[in-house]
């Protein structure tokens, strides 16, 4: 009789444990799934921003290419109200489509962001410099990139462009100038 009572108690305990596990569900608010959902949203948002900026109708240049061509080589830091040069508070980032897009989409939603430009130098080494810096990314940051091809004709005065940005002419014997990889890092604050 005692053995039967012990078996019944064990079955009841197992039943309670199975019921408790089945009753607990993973919802979108559960930590692991919430992070994956936010990362997917940030990935889509960042890719959409770069796709919009890289679009250009026939015969025109894309806003993203214009931002690279007009870049003065400085790193700009978000100070809470504007993008200021890291070297001087008196120099603000002006006339940048990427800046306008980030001000319109990322800043109001509390999305931190960094933008880096990378390219290949004449020795075949990948070089990168920050364009916009907004802090160190969290563990849940996503990275989106878009390649932009530059030609000698689009750059114009290649020596001043090289002095300002450090982006060299990869092939001086053709109309090809270089490929710049625009890398955007997004994360929730």
Q: Which of 67, 57, 51 is nearest to 150 (CA)?
A: 67
> What is the model's pTM?
0.77
| pLDDT band with cut points at 50, 70 and 90 for residue 27 | low
The answer to whether 143 touches 116, Cβ cutoff 8 Å, is: no
Q: pLDDT tens for residues 76-128?
A: 998 888 888 888 778 888 888 999 999 999 899 889 999 999 999 888 889 99
Beta bridge partners of 72: none
User: How many C-beta atoms lie closer than 10 Å to residue 148's C-beta?
Assistant: 21
Please report, for the chain, the start and end positions of each structural domain, with discontinuous segments joined by +.
28-188
């Amino acid at each position: 009789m005692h053995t039967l009572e012990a078996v019944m108690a064990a079955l009841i305990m197992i039943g309670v444990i199975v019921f408790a596990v089945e009753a607990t569900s993973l919802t979108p608010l559960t930590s692991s799934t919430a992070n994956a959902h936010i990362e997917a949203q940030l990935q889509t948002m960042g890719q959409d921003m770069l796709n919009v900026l890289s679009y250009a109708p026939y015969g025109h240049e894309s806003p993203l290419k214009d931002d690279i061509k007009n870049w003065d080589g400085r790193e700009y830091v978000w100070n809470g109200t504007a993008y200021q040069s890291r070297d001087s508070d008196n120099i603000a980032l002006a006339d940048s489509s990427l800046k306008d897009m980030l001000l319109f989409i990322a800043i109001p939603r509390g999305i931190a962001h960094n933008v880096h430009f990378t390219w290949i130098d004449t020795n075949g080494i990948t070089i990168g410099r920050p364009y916009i810096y907004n802090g160190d990314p969290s563990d849940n940051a996503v990275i989106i990139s878009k390649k932009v091809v530059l030609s000698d004709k689009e750059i114009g005065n290649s020596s001043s462009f090289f002095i300002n940005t450090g982006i060299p002419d990869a092939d001086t014997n053709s109309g090809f100038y270089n490929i710049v990889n625009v890398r955007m890092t997004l994360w929730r604050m």
